[in-house]
Amino acid sequence: MDLSTATQLEGPLEEAVESEDAAVVIDLAGCQFIDSTGIALIVRAWQRVDASAGNGGKGGLVLCCQSEQVRRVLEVTGLEHSLRVFDTRDEAVAALRA
């Protein structure tokens, strides 16, 4: 996910976070690369969900990601410690339902 591909996610993600009780899973299973554009998109969505839910940023938005490169970027940026990141979509969805 970079400058040329992030726009494909931007519209659907904006739509998903509009609700006050948004529960959003960003599935990065097919993502092998992410740059600052993708990170910024995730952070903006997280901030919108966090502002609506007032939940400290951990209740309404989760990520699932298996790529070591993408996980490394999430770790370096600190997002892996701020957001809940799961290996599978099923784990991510279960976390939102808990």
**What is the dihedral sign for C-alpha 44, 45, 51, 55?**
negative
Each residue's pLDDT, cut to its tens digit, for the chain (98 residues) gives 988 998 888 999 988 888 777 789 999 988 999 999 999 999 999 988 877 666 454 458 999 999 999 999 999 999 999 999 999 999 999 998 88
Residue 1 lies inside a defined structural domain of this protein: no
- Is 89 buried (19+), middle (13-18) or exposed (0-12) by CB count in 10 A? middle
Q: Which domain holds residue 78?
A: 6-97
Residue 30 lies in a domain: yes
Give residue 90's Cα distance to chain centre.
15
- What integer pLDDT is reported at residue 58 of this predicted model? 46
The domain that contains 18 carries what CATH number? 3.30.750.24
User: What is the predicted pLDDT for the residue at 54?
Assistant: 60
Query: Which ranges constitute the DSSP H helices of 17-67?
Result: 36-53
**Tally of domains in the chain:** 1
What pLDDT does residue 75 have? 94
| Whole-number pLDDT of residue 77 | 94
